[in-house]
Amino acid sequence: MTACTGDQVIVRTNTVVCGNGDLETGEECDDNNENNFDACTNACEFASCGDGVVRNDIEVDDLGYEECDDGNDNNNDYCRNDCLPAICGDGIIRTDLAQGSAGFEACDDANIDPNDECTNECKRARCGDGFVRADVEPGDPRYEACDDGNDFAEDACTADCQPAVCGDGYIRQSGLSSDDPEWEDCEDLNDDQTDDCRNCRFPDCRDGVLDRDLGEECDDGNEENADGCDNSCRVAADGRSQARAAVSCRAILDGFPEQRDGIYWIDPNGGSREDAYQVYCDLTMDGGGWTLVAVVSDDDANNWTWQHRAYWTVDESTVGRIEQLNRDFKSPAYHEVPMEDILVKHEPSGIWSSYARVGDGGEDLGSFIDGFRGLQCHNQSDGVASRAGMLAQEAGICNTKLYFNCGAEEAPICGGENEANSTYGLCFSVRVAGRCDFSEPWRGGIGPNSSSNMQRLESNQLGFGQALSLNTGRAGQAENYIQILVRD
């Protein structure tokens, strides 16, 4: 106390206590509690965003709600000036993080559209981010027609976000097989169709460019086999002319099923058609695709004799003319068309029989018969069974099987001493004096007779023809004959 003259004055000092519930000098509020996180802080000040204290006394939608409070007024850090956490899309760019850090924002356009200049990850839009920009038009350097989320240029969407096309400078192969139409072998960035990269493919058949150096006769740029230019880039192989020769009658049927029986051109070796020749094709019987390779005829000529038995194997001599197929005939196709099936047809009866999988389709009939290396000693269980046809087992024949190089019982191969009564080439088992013992196989043969007095003559038995009394035409007038056809 201080003593003063005159009237006496008494001064009392009152201590302000925050939290006593009384609003005292210097206090904005006093809520009579020690909860620092409500509307009135423990400093008896009104709670406010930026005071460093996070309120917990109100709900999310209430005015003044806070999820964070970092005690500053920096709106670009993790806690905004409205005390809500910074999020991508809030329109505020965070500046408190280094690039590459989680939450870093390069932009923030206050929306969640990923297809504009700022993605919904707050990254600057760029080609390769997986989002196709929709806010720019074609012609703008920022325009994207696609965006596959990678920087790989050789897939369906290039590294500049444009659809992969031939001529874009990128060789597209990723995820494709070489037969896919989108596959690219090369990219030379020009339209020259005569160089080594054509429409982004190496020169090839069916690329639409005629390339004589590749042996192409034509190139129509498609895979249609029956449109005049086949899939080997050869002029349509329908056999109608030498320039359009096919490899076989089977190939003609496969490529042009509307064709009918007749004379066609074939080129079995598949090279230049300069060595093509004409053959008779049966395109209807037993599934079709048959090439006539030989005719043995009772025409008073002696071609298919024992002395000429090599005609059946290695002798590539031809016989007769394609225009006279009722006479002795041997086509070049006998030694060139691969053989799997055989068909034997008798005329004038029309009786025929076919035999499946006689060969493996890898060699011609001559090579197949030559593989037997001479006469064979057969029994009835041997032979190739008939698959289809009109031939039936009757009194004159033992069965309908087909045999080759039938040796007689007295032939050395059968334990005998000579080859008499044997035959070469195709043969059938016929009854001789009621027996089925191959005692005289020449009687079921198609031409050759090994008997000494017959070696220069051609037998007129014609396989099963004589045995079944089918040779009803005039003898020696080419009215009785056997046709031999093969199919590859």
Tell me the per-residue pLDDT of 337-364, one tens digit each, with 9 for 90 and over.
Answer: 999 999 999 999 999 999 999 999 999 9
Q: Average pLDDT of the chain?
A: 91
Is the per-residue pLDDT at 9 higher than 70? no
pLDDT tens per residue, range 382-395:
999 999 999 999 88
Q: How confident is the model at residue 7 (pLDDT cuts 50, 70, 90)?
A: low
Please give the C-alpha separations between residue 224 and each of 221, 259, 374, 454, in angstroms, as whole numbers. 9, 17, 46, 55
Is the per-residue pLDDT at 265 higher than 70? yes
Query: At a CB cut-off of 8 Å and minimum separation 6, what does 167 contact?
Result: 187, 189, 191, 200
Is the per-residue pLDDT at 6 higher than 90? no
The highest-confidence range among 13-17, 414-418, 443-447, by mean pLDDT, is 443-447
* Mean pLDDT along residues 252-274: 91
* DSSP for residue 355: E
**Are the C-beta atoms of 246 and 230 separated by less than 8 Å?**
no
Task: Give the C-alpha separation, 468 to 485, whole Å.
Answer: 21
- The dihedral built from the CA positions of residue 82, 86, 88 and 92, taken in this order, carries a sign that is positive
Query: At a CB cut-off of 8 Å and minimum separation 6, what does 480 contact?
Result: 297, 298, 347, 348, 460, 462, 465, 470, 471, 472, 473
Is the per-residue pLDDT at 3 higher than 50? no
- Degrees to nearest 5, angle at CA 314 with 308 and 319: 50
Is the per-residue pLDDT at 60 higher than 50? yes
Q: What percent of the chain has pLDDT over 70?
A: 97
pLDDT tens per residue, range 285-327:
999 999 999 999 999 999 999 999 999 999 999 999 999 999 9
What's residue 273's pLDDT?
A: 86
115-124, 142-151, 181-190, 229-238: lowest mean pLDDT where? 229-238
**Are the C-beta atoms of 402 and 383 separated by less than 8 Å?**
yes
Phi, psi of 253 (to 5 degrees): -65, -40
Segments of 303-455 assigned E as strands:
329-330, 341-347, 352-355, 388-389, 403-404, 426-427
What's residue 21's pLDDT?
A: 86
Q: How confident is the model at residue 483 (pLDDT cuts 50, 70, 90)?
A: very high
186-190, 270-274, 369-373, 450-454: lowest mean pLDDT where? 270-274
CA 52 to centroid of chain Cα atoms: 70
- Domains (range + CATH), the chain: 237-283 (3.30.750.130), 292-488 (no CATH)
* Mean pLDDT along residues 261-269: 95
* Mean pLDDT along residues 448-468: 93
Is the per-residue pLDDT at 1 higher than 50? no
Comparing 57 with 213, which gets the higher pLDDT? 57
* DSSP for residue 15: P
Q: How confident is the model at residue 4 (pLDDT cuts 50, 70, 90)?
A: very low
Is the per-residue pLDDT at 28 higher than 70? yes
pLDDT tens per residue, range 140-155:
999 999 999 999 888 9
Q: How confident is the model at residue 8 (pLDDT cuts 50, 70, 90)?
A: low
**Are the C-beta atoms of 287 and 260 separated by less than 8 Å?**
no
Q: How confident is the model at residue 198 (pLDDT cuts 50, 70, 90)?
A: confident
Q: How confident is the model at residue 2 (pLDDT cuts 50, 70, 90)?
A: very low
